[in-house]
Amino acid sequence: NLFEITDEQIAKISDVFVNRFYIPILRGMRPVTNADNKQPYLERAQKDYFPEKDKFHAQNIVTGECLYNVLKEKLLGEPEDRELIKSYEEKLSQYFFDNETVSLIPKHNQDVVNIKIGKDAQRAIFELGDGLQQAIILTYEAFINKDKTHAFFIEEPELHMHAGMVRQLMNFYLNETSHYYFFTTHSNHLLDMADESDQVMIQKFVKQPKENNLNEFDFKIYRCDRDRDLLASLGVRPSSVYLANCTIW
């Protein structure tokens, strides 16, 4: 559980950032129930990991289930709220849609966000790729809260995304926000970012038995920047990088 840190650690790291946000592996912009004010993904995360519901709730567990209502409130709210959504749409366009105009629309009489890209017809989110949903879920809170520095704990950011979109997601984080991001990932494509930016650090967690009790385990953390053992542990093979017409080894 990415939130399992001691009170002493919280006191130290709270000097660096304001709030903590957790984005679990169970996330999506399509409602999975017709019941009003119900967020099953959020409720599942609370039940499994966060018994203290007064501390971990819809304000800091980000699942994407409420994005329809959040966008609706912003677009029907104050002028500064609409400007903020417009700025966010422009960043989506810049990083994920080759600068084509992007509009996020909480369409009336529906429960899912609609998206219009360039001159294409407006479509419901479920008619587009799942990777697009992930990109929105992973970037919205980070951008909306970019005026202050927060910590985001994200499970498998590459979920449903192809390598190019993962790279753009990382560029979005590095260029547009000042937050701290903690990822758990099995993606070898993220290893490239360690070479391209001094703001990225890669660590490997290894399960090891305790010396005094072989039936119990500790997790040791090792600093590693694209070493061969790390690639092997991720299951990376030469064919994983066959992106060009040929590769010379």
Report residue 223's pLDDT band, with 50, 70 and 90 as the boundaries. Answer: confident
Each residue's pLDDT tens digit, 162-218 = 888 999 999 999 999 999 999 988 887 777 776 677 888 888 788 888 888 878 888
DSSP assignments along 29-59, one per residue: SS-S--STT--HHHHHHHHHH-S-TTTSSTT
> What does DSSP say about strands 102-105 and 114-117: parallel, antiparallel, or unpaired?
antiparallel
Kindly state the average pLDDT of the residues 35-64: 89
Question: How many CB atoms are closer than 10 A to CB 221?
Answer: 10
3-state DSSP call for residue 104?
A: strand
Tens digits of residue pLDDT in 90-107: 999 999 999 999 999 999
What is residue 229's three-state secondary structure? helix
Weakest-pLDDT range from 119-123, 168-172, 239-243: 239-243
Which residue blocks in the chain are alpha helix, DSSP H? 7-13, 40-49, 67-75, 79-96, 130-144, 163-176, 192-196, 228-233
The CA-CA-CA angle for residues 143, 145, 148, to 5°, reads 120
pTM, to two decimals: 0.81
CA distances from residue 220 to 144, 203, 217, 223 in whole angstroms, order as listed: 35, 10, 10, 10
